[in-house]
Amino acid sequence: MGRAPVTLPAKRGRPNSNHPSQTLTDADRKLYDLIKSKEGMGIFFTDMRRETGLQDVILKKSLKSLQSKNLIKDVPNIHSKGRKHYMAVEFEPSKEVTGGSWYSEGKLDTDLIKIMKDQCLKHIDKLKVATIEGMLEFLRRSGAFKIEFSTQQIAEIVQSLVLDNEIEEVKSTGTGDFAFVPLGKVCYRRSDRRHSVAGVMSSIPCGVCPRIRECTPDGIISPTTCVYFKKWLDF
């Protein structure tokens, strides 16, 4: 009778000793694991100190070491321009950190917002009544933008226009100007109040900020942390 074949135990994979993370000191590892755990939200230096318990000298040395190994990066944070904010290189900053697509290099892109608002108004003026989906399709076909927009972004622009009293939200009656919009569907038309109501909102940053609906007194986005609102008040 022949011998049964011998099954050798599978070799366990060894960690890649060439990867920079395999050559970290205990302090470096502790800090790297913390920063990586924050993913796209990242973490401030003061929070690193509190959560790791490391002394400032050691913390700064570890930060420098991790950056030199290209394991972490510092990113701009719209809520605190003067403070360093770090995250692991494999993550992209969340919109809570960058402000989303409405921000460019940490600054509110007011030029982009104004152009989008003007284009949406142009579409409404042409059709008398327009839906968010219709405005999105119009912007995509206009060729005026090199970036792709989402329905949520158009909704934010539309809400800003409503707050400016430029347009108003209505429901389709299915007749007249609403003939091409399904009965009962939410749509938008020019507001009769835009000439009678003083455009106070348009003179302050809130008037062009498409994320005003997310702005709350104790939220990540709030009047107390908005540098643009503070500048307006100082003026």
* pLDDT tens digits along 21-49: 667 899 999 999 999 999 988 898 889 99
Element (H, E) at 65: helix 56-68
Give ranges for CATH 1.10.10.10 in the chain. 21-98
Output the pLDDT for position 13.
46
Q: What is the pTM of this model?
A: 0.50
Q: What is residue 219's three-state secondary structure?
A: coil
Task: Identify the pLDDT of residue 205.
Answer: 62
Mean pLDDT of 108-131: 91
What CA–CA distances, in Å, run from 192 to 47, 125, 186, 197, 226?
50, 13, 18, 9, 31
**Using 50, 70 and 90 to split pLDDT, how confident is the model at 109?**
confident
Position 126 pLDDT exceeds 90: yes
| 214 pLDDT above the threshold of 90 | no
Whether 65 has a pLDDT exceeding 90, the answer reads yes
Instruction: Say how far apart CA 89 and CA 37 lie, in whole Å.
Output: 12
Q: Does the pLDDT of residue 100 top 70, yes or no?
A: no
Of 168, 130, 132, give the one whose Cα is nearest residue 149. Answer: 132
Q: Which fold has domain 21-98?
A: Arc Repressor Mutant, subunit A (1.10.10)
